[in-house]
């Protein structure tokens, strides 16, 4: 599929992971009930290797990596950039990594700028070496900090993010791993008898990873999966940018912008979403699709179409919203091919390779979820700003308009390079570039005009930005090279000032929250600080330049805007780290509301140890509606399925898209509560008819009583009683 030519290490890792992960997770789901979990994931990988060897005579296990530039003959530099980006992305969740991530960034930047400082003369190069002294000092402090990790790794560490309580998704993710590993897409662990495919393939990958060594769900969802996914997603960002621009600086810049924006007070500015594993996982496959189309420019071999269909299947199966981006990308290409009567066959084959797996996925995988119920999706321009940018409809009309403009302009800072696309002759006529632009801009537009109750339109915007970022940074680099602009001093000064302006912007934004009046106006104004300074610097460059004044002004402005995102992490991560260190000593108390008390966990662990894997469980502690008192609604967080791995008759507010099952859900909830409070032959027989064997009687909402002759108490503690139904 790849063909001849130099193969970058980031491309090898990124595309290899996208292909390997796709085959492994699909194999694990297809052969889930046929082969042991520890080997089922290997079947399609082995088949692919055998077919590759037979039809292409490719020597399995022998891969020759060639690189054109001397710095890339040794992969250490490239891998250092990727590993550093991974540390930065992880530190938004693992707050104790913040000092390490900052020091690593400093060292990588120091190595990256070595040749530039050496070219400035002996004095500059001496000053460059002196920088190692503070870097070394903070590196030692960061290493000492890591040696104390065990002091913050207490039993409730996994319920924290930024050192404060995490939302229910932490426990829900563990439940989904249990669900997909046991039932695939045929059933679910929350609501017995109902097929649930919520982000099916992303959780299937986590379940596959868990099966390798029979790991605990948290070891996958909280530790292994984020690290692996961030690493390979960053590989794809690096590979795309490097392949387009042929610049190490551009590739490193793209990685920096993508990872540093994961820590920001405004979720709209994030590329990676620290609260959504499924989104981060799907980024790998969406960018792999772009890379495949870029490599071939829409002219694929037969095996290329198969790989394209495979990547589409996993990208949409991991995050259904990715379907929107693919649709926006391929539709204009197909229309243009028909009108121009050029490349129609290639565009049609690509379209069919995209539509077929999506149709199969929606029809066979999601047919039970979609088309039933209302997800609350509606056309509502600007609702995303209200949900994610601290703007309110109650604000004055001027504040609303100004706030929308400020946030909208700031969102496009890092992708502003696409404005220069028409000036890059080598790219503007490429079909894959058109696909990328249509797809990315379509995703962003959809995020602005579509809203839903779950606020998931933010994922549309995130994928749109992730799609356009590598192309934008590469265009800026190519424009720089074509115009012979090699002034390192002015560029370094522009980047330094952009980072500084971003730090000031965040600080002013946070201070504006303390203002009693016109808060949104001052916050919106603070967001525009980098844009205002970028325009000012462009005017200064225009005034003092003797040649290529317009070109230099444009490039300085765009570099300033793109690099301004780096300062978000520098300014915001310190606050997160301080809060985390302050809260970590009180984690046992804080986490109780979310993960239950020690007695509650003891209750569920007993059930895990002394029940069979296929036993059906019911609990009387339900969320009939969302309540402000977190302790009254523990079942919302799927604790029973997360801790025990046992299927529940009904748990929490799931499944989604199931309004036609509201009556059945209420019936089950009422049945369990009625049995615990007032047991009888009738409600006991009804539970047995469902297949329920165990009932958890939570003492927070019921009193201890004698359930004989209907059930026998097998375990009891201050949190509740575990009842085994009598036949």
Domain ranges of the chain: 9-482+565-573, 483-564, 596-725
Predicted pLDDT at 73:
46
Is the model more confident about 367 or about 528? 528
For residue 225, the Cα-to-chain-centroid distance in whole angstroms is: 11
Q: Pairing mode, if any, of strands 160-161 and 164-165?
A: antiparallel
What is the model's pTM? 0.86
d(CA 147, CA 253): 30
Contact 473/448 with Cβ under 8 angstroms?
Answer: no
CA distances to 187, 191, 307, 392, 481 from 637, in Å: 19, 13, 37, 29, 53
Q: Which of 321, 363, 296, 269 is nearest to 569 (CA)?
A: 269
Element of type H or E holding 553: helix 549-563
**Which range, of 30-44, 78-92, 507-521, averages the lowest pLDDT?**
507-521
Confidence of residue 485 (pLDDT cuts 50, 70, 90): low
What are 159-177's pLDDT values in tens digits? 444 334 445 667 778 888 8
Q: What are residue 195's phi and psi, to 5 degrees?
A: -65, 130
Contact 562/257 with Cβ under 8 angstroms?
Answer: yes
Predicted pLDDT at 1:
58
What are 423-440's pLDDT values in tens digits? 888 888 788 999 999 999
Q: Is residue 158's pLDDT more than 50?
A: no
Element of type H or E holding 648: strand 647-648
Contact 256/115 with Cβ under 8 angstroms?
Answer: no
Q: Which of 219, 224, 230 is nearest to 83 (CA)?
A: 230
Strand partners, 697: 721
d(CA 190, CA 185): 13
Q: Pairing mode, if any, of strands 616-619 and 450-451?
A: unpaired
What is the SS3 assignment for 20-74?
HHHHHHHHHHHCCCCCCHHHHCCHHHHHHHHHHHHHHCCCCCCCCCCCCCHHHCC
Q: Is residue 679's pLDDT more than 50?
A: yes
Q: Choose from 268-272, 511-515, 627-631 the range with maximum mean pLDDT.
A: 268-272
Kindly state the tokens that stand for 45.
């990988």
Is the model more confident about 95 or about 691? 691
CA distances to 18, 73, 81, 474, 560 from 542, in Å: 45, 40, 34, 23, 15
Residue 131, CB-side half-sphere exposure with 13 Å CA sphere: 17
Contact 567/526 with Cβ under 8 angstroms?
Answer: no
Predicted pLDDT at 162:
38
**H helix and E strand count, the chain:** 32, 9
Query: Three-state SS for 157?
Result: helix
Residue 180, CB-side half-sphere exposure with 13 Å CA sphere: 28
d(CA 573, CA 318): 29
Location of structure tokens 């992730």: 466
Q: What is the largest CA-CA distance in the chain?
A: 96
Predicted pLDDT at 631:
54
Predicted pLDDT at 529:
86
Query: Three-state SS for 716?
Result: strand
Predicted pLDDT at 154:
42
Span 717-723, mean pLDDT?
A: 91
Q: 518: exposed, middle or buried (C-beta count within 10 Å: 0-12, 13-18, 19+)?
A: middle
Q: Which residues neighbour 345 within 8 Å (Cβ) at sequence distance 6 or greater? A: none
Q: Choose from 245-259, 389-403, 671-685 the range with maximum mean pLDDT.
A: 671-685
Chain-wide mean pLDDT for the chain? 80
Q: Pairing mode, if any, of strands 164-165 and 692-698?
A: unpaired
Kindly state the tokens that stand for 397.
């009309």
d(CA 198, CA 178): 13
User: How many residues in total does the chain contain?
Assistant: 727
What are 219-264's pLDDT values in tens digits? 787 788 889 999 999 999 999 999 998 888 889 889 999 998 877 7
Predicted pLDDT at 285:
96
- CA dihedral 224→568→566→167, nearest 10 degrees, is 20
Kindly state the tokens that stand for 653.
């507010």
Predicted pLDDT at 441:
94
Predicted pLDDT at 367:
53
Predicted pLDDT at 275:
75
Q: Which residues neighbour 432 within 8 Å (Cβ) at sequence distance 6 or greater? A: 290, 293, 294, 296, 297, 298
Kindly state the tokens that stand for 4.
């001849």
Q: Is residue 451's pLDDT more than 80?
A: no
Element of type H or E holding 478: helix 457-482
Span 507-515, mean pLDDT?
A: 73
Predicted pLDDT at 365:
64
Confidence of residue 314 (pLDDT cuts 50, 70, 90): very high
Predicted pLDDT at 609:
93
**Which range, of 212-216, 237-241, 320-324, averages the lowest pLDDT?**
212-216
Q: Is residue 620's pLDDT more than 90?
A: no
Span 700-709, mean pLDDT?
A: 83
Q: Is residue 617's pLDDT more than 60?
A: yes
Q: What are residue 393's phi and psi, to 5 degrees?
A: -65, -20
Is the model more confident about 506 or about 617? 617
Confidence of residue 482 (pLDDT cuts 50, 70, 90): confident
What are 10-42's pLDDT values in tens digits? 999 999 999 999 999 899 888 887 888 778 888
Q: Choose from 55-59, 137-141, 648-652, 699-703 the range with maximum mean pLDDT.
A: 648-652
Q: Which residues neighbour 351 within 8 Å (Cβ) at sequence distance 6 or greater? A: 330, 334
Predicted pLDDT at 596:
59
Residue 657 DSSP code? S
What are 44-76's pLDDT values in tens digits? 999 988 887 777 665 544 544 444 444 344 556
Query: Three-state SS for 571?
Result: helix
Q: Is residue 459's pLDDT more than 50?
A: yes
Contact 87/101 with Cβ under 8 angstroms?
Answer: yes
Is the model more confident about 186 or about 214? 186
What are 197-210's pLDDT values in tens digits? 777 888 888 888 88
d(CA 727, CA 722): 16
Q: Choose from 4-18, 446-460, 652-666 the range with maximum mean pLDDT.
A: 4-18
Span 472-493, mean pLDDT?
A: 76
């Amino acid at each position: 599929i790849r063909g001849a030519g130099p193969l970058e290490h980031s491309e090898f890792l990124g595309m290899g992971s996208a292909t390997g992960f796709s085959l492994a997770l699909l194999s694990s789901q297809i052969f889930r009930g046929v082969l042991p979990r520890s080997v089922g994931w290997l079947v399609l990988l082995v088949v692919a290797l055998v077919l590759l060897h037979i039809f292409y005579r490719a020597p399995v296990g022998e891969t020759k990596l060639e690189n054109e530039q001397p710095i890339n003959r040794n992969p250490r530099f490239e891998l250092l950039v990727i590993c550093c980006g991974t540390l930065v992305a992880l530190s938004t969740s693992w707050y104790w990594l913040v000092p390490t991530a900052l020091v690593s960034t400093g060292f990588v930047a120091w190595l990256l700028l070595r040749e530039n400082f050496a070219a400035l003369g002996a004095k500059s190069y001496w000053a460059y070496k002196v920088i190692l002294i503070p870097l070394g000092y903070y590196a030692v402090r960061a290493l000492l900090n890591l040696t104390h990790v065990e002091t913050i790794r207490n039993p409730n560490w996994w319920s924290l993010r930024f050192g404060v309580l995490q939302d229910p998704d932490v426990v829900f993710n563990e439940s989904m791993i249990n669900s997909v590993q046991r039932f695939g897409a045929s059933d679910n662990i929350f609501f017995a008898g109902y097929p649930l495919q919520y982000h099916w393939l992303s959780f299937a990958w986590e379940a596959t990873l868990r099966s390798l060594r029979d790991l605990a769900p948290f070891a996958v969802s909280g530790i292994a999966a984020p690290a692996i996914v961030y690493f390979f997603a960053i590989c794809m960002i690096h590979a795309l940018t490097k392949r387009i621009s042929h610049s190490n600086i551009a590739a490193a810049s793209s990685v920096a912008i993508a990872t540093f924006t994961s820590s920001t007070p405004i979720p709209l500015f994030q590329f990676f979403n620290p609260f959504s594993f499924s989104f981060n996982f799907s980024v790998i496959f969406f960018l792999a699709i772009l890379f495949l189309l870029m490599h071939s420019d829409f002219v694929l071999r037969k095996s290329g179409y198969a790989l394209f269909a495979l990547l589409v299947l996993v990208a949409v199966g991991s995050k259904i919203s990715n379907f929107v981006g693919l649709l926006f990308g391929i539709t204009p290409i197909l229309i243009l091919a028909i009108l121009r009567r050029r490349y129609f066959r290639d565009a049609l084959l690509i379209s069919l390779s995209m539509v077929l797996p999506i149709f199969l996925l929606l029809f066979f995988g999601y047919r039970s979820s979609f088309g039933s119920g209302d997800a609350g999706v509606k056309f509502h321009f600007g609702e995303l700003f209200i949900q994610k940018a601290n703007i309110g409809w109650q604000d004055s009309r001027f504040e609303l308009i100004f706030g929308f403009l400020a946030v909208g302009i700031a969102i496009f800072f890092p992708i502003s390079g696409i404005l220069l696309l028409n000036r890059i002759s080598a790219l503007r006529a490429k079909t894959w570039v058109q696909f990328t632009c249509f797809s990315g801009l379509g995703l962003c537009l959809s995020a602005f005009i579509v809203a839903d109750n779950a606020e998931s339109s933010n994922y549309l915007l995130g994928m749109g930005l992730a799609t356009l970022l590598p192309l934008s940074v590469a265009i800026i680099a190519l424009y720089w090279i074509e115009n012979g602009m090699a002034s390192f001093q002015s560029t370094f000064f522009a980047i330094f000032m952009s980072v500084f302006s971003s730090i000031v912007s965040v600080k002013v934004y946070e201070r504006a929250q303390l203002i009693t009046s016109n808060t949104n106006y001052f916050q919106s104004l603070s967001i525009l600080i980098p844009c205002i300074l970028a325009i000012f610097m462009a005017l200064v460059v225009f005034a003092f330049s003797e040649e290529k004044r317009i070109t230099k002004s444009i490039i300085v402005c765009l570099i300033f805007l793109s690099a301004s995102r780096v300062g978000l992490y520098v300014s915001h991560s310190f606050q997160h780290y301080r809060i985390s260190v302050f809260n970590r000593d009180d984690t046992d108390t804080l986490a109780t509301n979310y993960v239950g008390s020690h007695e509650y966990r003891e209750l569920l662990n007993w059930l895990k140890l002394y029940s069979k894997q296929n036993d059906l469980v019911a609990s009387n502690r339900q969320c009939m509606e969302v309540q402000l008192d977190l302790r009254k609604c523990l079942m919302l967080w799927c604790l029973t399925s997360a801790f025990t791995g046992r299927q529940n008759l009904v748990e929490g507010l799931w499944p989604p898209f199931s309004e036609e099952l509201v009556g059945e859900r209420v019936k089950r909830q009422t049945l369990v509560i009625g049995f615990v409070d007032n047991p009888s032959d009738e409600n006991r027989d009804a539970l047995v008819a469902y297949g329920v064997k165990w009932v958890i009687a939570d003492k927070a909402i019921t009193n201890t009583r004698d359930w004989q002759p209907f059930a026998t108490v097998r375990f009891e503690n201050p949190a509740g009683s575990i009842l085994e139904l009598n036949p």
